[in-house]
Structure 1
Amino acid sequence: MRGRNGNRYVVNLRKMECDCGKWSEFGIPCSHVQSVCKRWDVEAANYVKPYYEIHPYLATYRGIYTPLPGEHYWDTPPFELFHKETLRVSRRVASFR
Structure 2
Amino acid sequence: MNSIPNYSAIVLAAGQGTRTGLAYNKVFYRLPEGCTVLEGALRPFLMDAACRQIVVTAHPGEMEEIRELAGDPRICVVEGGSTRQDSVRQALEAVTEPVV
Greater fraction of residues in strand: 2
Greater relative CO, 1 or 2 (CA 8 Å, sep 6+): 2
TM, length-normalised to structure 1: 0.23
TM, length-normalised to structure 2: 0.23
